[in-house]
Amino acid sequence: MKRNKIEELSGPALFQDPQLNKDTAFDAEERKRYHLEGLLPAVVETIDDQAKRVNMHLGIKPNDLERYIYLCSLQERNETLFFKVLMSDPARFVPIVYDPTVGEACLKFSHIYRQKSGMYVTIKDKGHVKEILENWPVKDIRFICVSTGGRILGLGDLGSNGMGIPIGKLQLYTACAAIPPEPLLPLLLDCGTDNEGLLQDPFYIGLRQHRPSTVELDEFVAEFVEAVQEVFPKCCIHFEDWKGADAIRLLKKYRNKVLCYNDDIQGTGAVALAGLIGALRISGKKLRDQRILFFGAGSAGIGIANMIGAAMQLDGLAENQIRSQIALFDINGLLVDARTDMSDEQKVYSKQLPLTSDLVAAIEVFKPSVIIGVSTVGKTFTQNVIEAMSKISERPVVFALSNPTDHAECTAEEAYRWSNGQAIYAAGVQFDTVNFNGKTFYPGQANNFYLFPAVSLAIYATQPKHVTDEMWIEAAKALANLVSPDELSKGMVFPPQDNIIELSAAVAAHVATVVFDRNLTDYVQPADIKCWISDMQFQPVYH
């Protein structure tokens, strides 16, 4: 327990501080010293006893949304116990506190709102952002996860309801990588919303106005970024779930100026790269030889394409070769030179091929060995699509990464059945094992929680000047290499999730090595990086 802080509090005030509150775990001596006698029942429990009660409560909840609400309330009351529960079984609890449950929670966020978590800074606060940030009681913030709610998962513009995403992302920092929770700040930049349903909702908690122009938004973000540098000089800004064009533009503007990253672009790109490396370990092929078609050409698709391209470049491919081997397909079809509706970022991957809006035709003309779905449109990888991929490659790589579940481009069972068991498959959500032709297949989940907590742990430990693509690529390689030969034989392209905290520490050590090797930090490299990082990790125990 933090002695300096607790000595300032006593009695009921201790129960109001989630970092100090131990509930029934205050022992007899503490109850007397801090004037808690009579304020608690007679029993003195261990944190393990309390965790059993939490699990009992969770077991009688009718659905995961109710479990989400209960766990969020627990964090507001007793943060140590909250993380004790989550860290005991991340594979079980991540789908409750984050995707897919967080999607439903964000849709209903204004209706299930209980009490504040994090900060809300509105565009009406322009000119005073620094003063508002100074209101946060913790002065050494190391990460701010910030969203405008402009594009939440595959659900679109949810405005202030999107606050569930920064909250959930930072919960995973601790649950999946054991980053101490105190220096983590979820923040919503409330710029209004263009979602008319929310604007008419009497319970909506955000600004009731439409979103600003790009110029006004960028001015607001510039003030926010500058204020963070002044108020929290050691802070890394984690951009999350911004509208695609905003996400790409702002990352390009700030990535080499301040310590920041965008998980939708860089994290998604890196976890997809890790899955691809794992898939190629199964097929025995080389990354540099792959032809990759993206179904979806927004910020996620471009982010993954750029990350894979950067990895190909490190593998020795020239830029023109990389561009020839990566193609994108959006709502209007294959990105080809004849089109006039492409952004500058999309034009990089435009091809001198016939114009087509038919995905099967695009596959037949481009001949990809890998297809990656980031469209947010479910059931678009039809039987004809998978069969077309199977004709081109004997082991087609099929990644259906859109989420939540009903947005997946195809299910695992469909991919295996339509490819006659030859597809190497991963999704953005977790599908059950599939039995086909007497063989059991284990579909992978290309979930960003495999990497963004690990990379953030490395950032927390090393305090780099910037977050580079090489750091993400090294993280992807390290993760892919943690898949055992036995797991590869089952079709797994990601390691099991049940030991995610240990995986994160191992990946973070590789990322930290890049930071030291590239002189991105002022710290001196320790003799044992992994041990050094492990010593910084949070332990959910009472003091």
Kind plus residue range of the DSSP H or E element containing 318: none
CB 501 within 8 A of CB 178: yes
C-alpha closest to that of 259 among 471, 36, 466: 466
Print burial letters for 339-375: b (CB count within 10 Å at least 16), e (below 16): eeebeebbebbbbebeebeebeebbeebebbbbbbbb
Separation CA 333–CA 329 (nearest Å): 5
CA distance 493 to 536: 29
User: Tokens for 108?
Assistant: 């209903």
Give dist(CA 193, CA 262) in Å, integer: 21
Q: Token match 């327990």: residue? A: 1
439 as an active site residue: the answer is: no
Cα(514)–Cα(517) distance, rounded to whole angstroms? Answer: 5
Q: How many Å apart are CA 50 and CA 45, to the nearest integer?
A: 7
Residue 193's φ and ψ, nearest 5 degrees, are -155, 150
Q: How far apart are CA 146 and CA 163, in angstroms?
A: 9
Q: Taking each helix axis from N to C terminus, what angle separates 299-314 and 268-283, rounded to the nearest 10 degrees? A: 50
Please name the amino acid found at residue 295. Answer: F
State phi, psi for 430 to the nearest 5 degrees. -90, 120
Catalytic residue among 22, 169, 351, 477: 169
Angle at 496 between CA 97 and CA 425, to 5 degrees: 95
Residue-wise DSSP of 311-376: HHHHTT--HHHHHHTEEEEETTEE-BTT-S---HHHHTT-BSS-----HHHHHHHH--SEEEE-SS
From 34, 68, 98, 425, the catalytic residue:
98
CB 415 within 8 A of CB 400: yes
Query: 34 catalytic, yes or no?
Result: no
Active site residues: 98, 169
